[in-house]
Amino acid sequence: MNLVIDVGNSYVKLAVFESGILKYKGTVTLGSVLEGINSLKDKYVSIKKAIISSVGRLDKETIEIIKESFNITILDSSTKLPFKNLYKTPNTLGVDRIALVCASVEQFPNSNALIIDAGTCVTYDFVTVKNEYLGGAISPGLRMRYESLNNLTANLPLLESETPKSIIGNSTNDSIHSGVVHGLLKEIDGNIEVYNLKYSDLTVILTGGDANFLSKQLKSSIFANSNFLLEGLNYILQFNSNE
């Protein structure tokens, strides 16, 4: 069994995989990460290997304690990957984007694939049928767009995400929902269209915290998978364990 530790700004996602199948997924705070890991260690005694992503947010003492229990892989720019990385600045490529590409390589081999991660930011990552990662794009996520309207203006309120009633907003709130949500949907559909024109047999994967909200409203044909990043991290762990 494998343990995946995905460290965010305030929270840590923990996942347990057995033979590539997700057995457990949960979230703990940074301060309670060891408590969460110990609980999983007691419940899943067969866990032998673990991978840590975004290790910079964990202190060295915590990492050393984790190493006492598992054979650890720490994901960074030097980690062996199952694709050819043609990004011009590989050292600046986020580990989350690396994991998403790896999940694509495993689950959609020999495909032109566009992976869209709709989270704090919306990232677009493209890997070719030849297993070459070319790069992609980064734009503001749904929440960031709502917050920017509130933070950078005097009178616009901060709203929660909501499916617009119409393209024509007949109130300030409805206008914000229309502008933010329809704007992001058109961006995503537009990017998919551009890739489709350039690359045949394109596979599109949508993941991230806003994937479910957006997938129901997109015109393009996509695979929606909220666990794609965790699955990619598990595949990296397996790939390096087999070296």
Give catalytic residues, as residue numbers: 96
Contact 32, 54 (CB under 8 A): no
In degrees rounded to 5, what are phi and psi of residue 53?
A: -110, 145
**Could you tell me the CA-to-CA distances from 67 to 10, 29, 50, 61 in Å, in that order?**
22, 19, 9, 10
Binding site annotation covers 87? yes
What residues have CB less than 8 Å from 242, skipping those under 6 apart? none
Binding site annotation covers 153? no
Binding site annotation covers 146? no
Q: How many CB atoms lie within 10 A of CB 196?
A: 16
Binding site annotation covers 94? yes
Binding site annotation covers 48? no
**DSSP helix/strand/coil, 150:** helix
Binding site annotation covers 97? yes
Binding site annotation covers 11? yes
Residue of 211, 158, 235, 220 lying closest to 4 (CA atoms): 235
Binding site annotation covers 10? yes
Instruction: Give the whole-angstrom CA distance, residue 124 versus residue 179.
Output: 21
Binding site annotation covers 120? yes
Binding site annotation covers 95? yes
Indicate the annotated binding residues for substrate: 87, 94-97, 172
Indicate the annotated binding residues: 6-13, 87, 94-97, 117, 120, 172
Indicate the annotated binding residues for ATP: 6-13, 120
